[in-house]
Amino acid sequence: MEPDLAADLLTDALYLVTKIVAVLILPGLVTGLIISIFQAATQITEQTLSFLPRLLITLISMALASHWLIQELSDLFIRLYTSIPGFL
């Protein structure tokens, strides 16, 4: 097994994980920041006001990005399976 091939596959996998996490987490973080600013300005301390919008935005972003996420994961696994002979 060539170390360069393994390092490239590991780099691609870590980059894909970073992209997936960013797509799923960043919309919720932005929504939470906006809700926190609103809560600080109005001094409302209701916990469900911050939780429910973040949950809904995260679910919506997951639904909208699901096709792209599955395609990216499929491409990575196809690249992994086609490079198996290079490992042997």
Can you give the residue ranges of every domain in the chain? 3-87
Contacts of 42 (CB under 8 A, 6+ apart): none
Calpha distance 50→34 (Å, rounded): 9
How do the pLDDT tens digits run along the chain, 88 residues long? 677 878 888 899 999 999 999 999 999 999 999 998 988 898 888 877 888 899 999 999 999 999 999 999 999 999 888 888 877 7
